[in-house]
């Protein structure tokens, strides 16, 4: 019976949960426009442990959402997960952030579930999953326009994530619902427990976030 701490920081949502055999014991999360994950994450972890009435020493593993998503958010989440795994001498697991989004929409009668994490402008991180949450295509960074997903006409589709709403108008030619939301640690329990049972552990020393794209620092404009 595995007790697992789940950390999700790939978007504006700083989210922490504790699950035992994929049963949710406690969830603490907050979406912050300022990406204050560095200030809040460890406090949320402590609150979550208190809410679940366990000590961090009772954990069997830590699972972190590895990306794609916000460079800063992923770096904070993965660094915290690695530090706790080292400090507590427990296993570390990771899951794709898109798969976390998909969990909220499985078995709802859709032919396809298409998660979308905002990557600025009209670009999103995305992939195709069937209605039961099984992956069909690899994760990619995709620019969305009026011709996107034309080959999926006639399918019952749900687009889910913080990139869904901005794509609704240009994808009006599809039979689709658009669910604007963030990945949440609430939906990581089942994924984490499955990986724990199959011994899919990460090498803590060498593990890196799945950024998908290189980080580009933008210079701040100054008044002349």
**Above pLDDT 90, what percent of the chain?**
89
**Residues 33-59: tens digit of each pLDDT:** 878 899 999 999 999 999 999 999 999
For 58, phi then psi, to 5°, come to -85, -5
Mean pLDDT for the chain overall: 94
What are 23's two structure tokens? Answer: 């049963």
At 35 the pLDDT is 80
**Residues 96-113: tens digit of each pLDDT:** 999 999 999 999 999 999
Of 201, 188, 196, 199, the residue nearest 26 (C-alpha): 188
How many CB atoms are located within 10 Å of the residue 32 CB?
Answer: 12
Average pLDDT over residues 12-34: 94
Integer Cα distance of 58 and 61 in angstroms: 9
- Residue 44: which H helix or E strand, with range? helix 37-51
**Residues 145-167: tens digit of each pLDDT:** 999 999 999 999 999 999 999 99
pTM score: 0.93
pLDDT at 15 over 50: yes
**Residues 74-94: tens digit of each pLDDT:** 999 999 999 999 999 999 999
Q: 120: which residues sit within 8 A by CB, 6+ positions away?
A: none
At 32 the pLDDT is 86
Integer Cα distance of 189 and 45 in angstroms: 15
Integer Cα distance of 49 and 217 in angstroms: 36
Integer Cα distance of 177 and 159 in angstroms: 6
Average pLDDT over residues 181-188: 98
Average pLDDT over residues 16-41: 93
How many CB atoms are located within 10 Å of the residue 33 CB?
Answer: 6
What angle is formed at CA 193 by the lines to CA 163 and CA 48, rounded to 5 degrees?
Answer: 70
Could you give all domains of the chain from N- to C-terminal order, each with its CATH number? 3-97+183-197 (3.30.420.40), 105-179 (3.30.420)
Confidence of residue 214 (pLDDT cuts 50, 70, 90): low
Integer Cα distance of 196 and 199 in angstroms: 5
């Amino acid at each position: 019976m595995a007790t697992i701490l789940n950390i999700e920081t790939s978007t504006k949502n700083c989210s922490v949960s504790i699950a035992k055999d994929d049963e949710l014991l406690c969830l603490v999360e907050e979406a912050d426009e300022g990406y204050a994950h560095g200030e809040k994450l460890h406090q949320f972890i402590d609150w979550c442990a208190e809410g679940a009435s366990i000590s961090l020493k009772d954990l069997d593993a830590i699972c972190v959402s590895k990306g794609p998503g916000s460079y800063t958010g992923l770096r904070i989440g993965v660094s915290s997960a690695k530090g706790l795994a080292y400090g507590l001498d427990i296993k570390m697991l990771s899951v794709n952030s898109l798969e976390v989004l998909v969990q909220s929409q499985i078995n709802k009668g859709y032919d396809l579930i298409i998660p979308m994490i905002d990557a600025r402008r009209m670009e999103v991180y995305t992939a195709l999953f069937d209605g039961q949450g099984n992956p069909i295509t690899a994760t990619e960074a995709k620019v969305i326009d009026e011709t996107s997903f034309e080959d999926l006409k006639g399918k019952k589709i749900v687009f889910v994530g913080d990139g869904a709403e901005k794509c609704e108008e240009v994808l009006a030619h599809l039979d689709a619902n658009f669910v604007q939301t963030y990945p949440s640690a609430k939906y990581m329990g089942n994924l984490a427990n499955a990986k724990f049972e199959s011994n899919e552990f990460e090498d803590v020393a060498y593990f890196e976030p799945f950024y998908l794209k290189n980080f580009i620092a933008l210079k701040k404009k100054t008044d002349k």
